[in-house]
Chains A and B, each alone.
Chain A
């Protein structure tokens, strides 16, 4: 446990040198999306969704989506480059860390990044007055859990490939459909059978839970199952990542 904390500490020191560049986009991105989608597109959706203003309905979806984007961003190119180009993981493997420490520490840093971007988005959303309930703070742990559910398996994937063209494939065939069909922009009921994409992949569960939180609606027992389902993705992804990392680092 402490050994993964050392690894997290390393990533935080590293981040201290680059955070300025990412801080701006962390704040500006939600602002632009709010303005573009909420005010622009929302102007046409006068009826609202499920009896709520479109912007208010949309915001929690955007937050969950931003959390997942950050998780994907941190678990693809950085992981590949730590194996292929910078060899950071190999340096760590020579120290008295176990493979699980290396994976867990880096994953913890990814969740820290997810929390930062979800937190920034939440602030902007509060400023626009789109949060209906104090339960909105629950969006933070929900974002972290959704981030984990995505980052852990993607980390395993990134550790299994040696060229970034495979990452482009992941973006095109997994991340893009997931972003479109996970009820971020419109209710999944209008998807027909494609709805199952939303049920199977992690993002929709995060969107649905975040929406319940910011709108102050109880998710009921379904909410618990969704939490467990996300946790399941995270746990399976983590154990797969540890195995994939082991294959690369201990040969």
Chain B
């Protein structure tokens, strides 16, 4: 009953000499929203493709819905909903036909497919566009349609690869809200993202991947507690040499990070720390106390170097 929907042990994916996924262990339980976080090239999408049964693992053990993807691909995919990173909707077809034709691939009778399409279009707020073609839809609408298509077989497990990448803030919030509703309905969500706010909003549990490995695992709260402090003080000084302040601030924070334009102090209590800064008359030109976020964890674990 409580066996995990996804169970990976020592999962490896190689492409020639390149190892995209380098031995990861993952358990995703029914009803949870699970996230894969990481910079570009961390191995998130390769992992998702293995879970989606369109990419055979090179090594290791992978069980999905209690089945073996190497053998039971079609049977597993019948119970998955997949929302790929790039929309692959049918631009020639109408919004509704995109759902009804896709439903047929699952052997869903036409009548049921039509009813379900109507329901799902309602759910993703596209009912008014049901008979319009896909091409003129906005990015956010296309994304919602792709999500609706992933739900057409009433899946046990929905895979979302960077569900809101490239969307404007309004569109993102609408997608998040819909995904949150799905989660409340008990649908198990597995998503990849490099947006920290997305992970904090949606994920019960997540793993941070870097270079094909899992570097941290836990709930957003746990990860912040483990790898960051409760609060962060961001200080800017008028001089170009932010670095010279690092020594003066030493001992006042758990960890200090010097960036080209500001200095970050990782502390338990930001206001206390800032008061201490002022008491030592270090007088920064601006100061901001904020709660530590998953972004701090992420940057701490995967570094600030740009990955393309």
Is A97 part of the binding interface, using a Cβ–Cβ cutoff of 8 Å?
yes
Q: Which of B95-140 contact A (CB under 8 A)?
A: 97, 101-102, 104-107
Nearest A-chain residue to B100, judged by Cβ: A13
> When chains A and B are docked, how far (Å) is the Cα of A90 from the Cα of B86?
11
> When chains A and B are docked, how far (Å) is the Cα of A95 from the Cα of B52?
9
Residues of B within 8 A of A91 (CB): 84, 88-90, 102
Selected from B15, B56, B73, B93, the residue in CB contact (under 8 A) with A13 is B93
Q: Which one, A2-10, A223-231, A234-242, is touching chain B?
A: A2-10
CB distance from A86 to the nearest CB of B (A): 7
Residues of B within 8 A of A6 (CB): 104-105, 107
Is B77 part of the binding interface, using a Cβ–Cβ cutoff of 8 Å?
yes
Nearest B-chain residue to A90, judged by Cβ: B88
A-contact 0/1 string along B35-77, CB 8 Å cutoff: 0000000000000010010111000000000000000011101
Selected from B54, B77, B90, B107, the residue in CB contact (under 8 A) with A88 is B90
Cβ–Cβ contact A13 & B101, under 8 A: yes
Q: Which of A1-32 contact B (CB under 8 A)?
A: 2-3, 6-7, 9-10, 13-14, 17-18
Selected from A10, A18, A94, A250, the residue in CB contact (under 8 A) with B82 is A94
Cβ–Cβ contact A87 & B104, under 8 A: no
Residues of B within 8 A of A98 (CB): 73-74
Interface residue count on the B side (C-beta < 8 Å)? 28
Residues of B within 8 A of A17 (CB): 92-93
Cβ–Cβ contact B101 & A10, under 8 A: yes
Is A249 part of the binding interface, using a Cβ–Cβ cutoff of 8 Å?
yes
Is A69 part of the binding interface, using a Cβ–Cβ cutoff of 8 Å?
no
Cβ–Cβ contact B104 & A10, under 8 A: yes
Cβ–Cβ contact B54 & A250, under 8 A: yes
Cβ–Cβ contact A87 & B101, under 8 A: no
Is B91 part of the binding interface, using a Cβ–Cβ cutoff of 8 Å?
yes
> When chains A and B are docked, how far (Å) is the Cα of A82 from the Cα of B13?
26
Is B78 part of the binding interface, using a Cβ–Cβ cutoff of 8 Å?
yes
Q: Knowing A2-B107, A90-B88, A94-B82 touch, does A14 contact B54 (C-beta < 8 A)?
A: no
Residues of A within 8 A of B89 (CB): 91
Nearest B-chain residue to A250, judged by Cβ: B54
CB distance from B114 to the nearest CB of A (A): 13
Cβ–Cβ contact B74 & A87, under 8 A: no
A-contact 0/1 string along B256-273, CB 8 Å cutoff: 000000000000000000
Cβ–Cβ contact B105 & A249, under 8 A: no
Cβ–Cβ contact B77 & A18, under 8 A: no
Residues of B within 8 A of A94 (CB): 52, 54, 77, 80, 82, 84
B-contact 0/1 string along A74-90, CB 8 Å cutoff: 00000000000011101
Residues of B within 8 A of A136 (CB): none
Cβ–Cβ contact B55 & A251, under 8 A: yes
Residues of chain B at the chain A interface (Cβ within 8 Å): 15, 49, 52, 54-56, 73-75, 77-78, 80, 82, 84, 86, 88-93, 97, 101-102, 104-107
Known contacts A18-B92, A91-B89, A95-B105, then 11 further A-B pairs from the complex at CB < 8 Å, ordered by chain A residue = A13-B101, A14-B101, A88-B90, A90-B88, A91-B88, A94-B54, A95-B102, A96-B74, A98-B73, A250-B56, A251-B49
